[in-house]
Structure 1
Amino acid sequence: MSANPDAWTDAASLDELADDDVTGLEVAGRDIAIYKVEGGVFATDNTCTHGQARLCDGFLEGHEIECPLHQGKFDVRDGRATCAPVTEALRCYPVRVEGGRVLLNLAG
């Protein structure tokens, strides 16, 4: 059975997310990092592609999350690696906000 690309999963209340910060959540059995930055909400896998550290323990500055283990950075908007030693992009998930709830498309 294939995943439904139109399936959205409720992840969190928008009010529970701090502005200009990252929150680690388990959503449908996945470790997800949700970022609330400059009025936007973004979601990626919560594990660094280089050192297996949890990104929610890292430092968020603007649209970049810094891994707490080796200080590699990713752009949370598209997952691309922006600073060595990371070279592999993060998986990103489409996000929408409805009725104050943050919804993720985990198939996207």
Structure 2
Amino acid sequence: MNNSQFDAGSINEIKPGKTKRVDAANGKRMLVCNVDGEFYAVDDRCTHEDSSLYLGCLKGERIHCSLHGGEFSVKTGAALAEPAEIALQTYPVRIEDGRILISC
């Protein structure tokens, strides 16, 4: 498996309870989420209807899809509310010198 890592920005850019959409070098669009000071990265596209999750809202660890109401855990990727049934892809995140680094 060929992993690469990219810098998704400063931890100061994403306040707790907020998200940021980022484009990885490989063309993947991801959503970085701040859950009480912990950062998580998931695919930006809902697995139900391919809608951007950036348009939804983050409550706790749950990201809500604005299109049909599906919900996912940003910690595990698990689908938590119908109509979503397929988990989101998650990506390892680490913080280094105040920067959010994502492996993909």
TM-score, L = length of structure 2: 0.94
Query: Sequence identity, in percent?
Result: 37
Residue in structure 2 matching 1:35, options 33, 36, 41:
33
Aligned residue in 2 for 1:55 = 53
* CA positional deviation for 1:98: 0.3
| Match for residue 8 of structure 1 among 1, 5, 23 | 5
- Cα deviation for residue 90 of structure 1 reads 0.1
Q: How many Å apart are 1:17 and its aligned residue?
A: 1.2
User: Secondary structure of 2:12's match?
Assistant: helix
In 2, the alpha carbon distance for the partners of 1:25 and 1:62 equals 20
Q: In structure 2, list runs of 5 or more residues that go unmatched.
A: none
1:35-72 deviation line (CA, Å, top 9, x unaligned): 00111000000000001110011011100000010000
Aligned residues: 103
User: What SS does structure 1 have at the residue aligned with 2:54?
Assistant: helix
- Matched residue SS, 1:19: coil
- After the TM superposition, which parts of structure 1 deviate over 2 Å for at least 4 consecutive aligned residues? none
Give the letter for the 2:2 counterpart: A
Aligned position for 1:19: 16
CA distance in structure 1 between the partners assigned to 2:35 and 2:75 by the alignment: 10
Q: Which moved further from structure 2: 8-17 or 75-84? A: 8-17
Structure 1 distance, partners of 2:28, 2:15, is 21
Amino acid at match of 2:94: R
After TM superposition, give the deviation of residue 83 of structure 1 in Å: 0.3
Alpha-carbon shift at residue 16 of structure 1 (Å): 1.1
For the pair 1:91 / 2:100, whether they are aligned, the reply is no
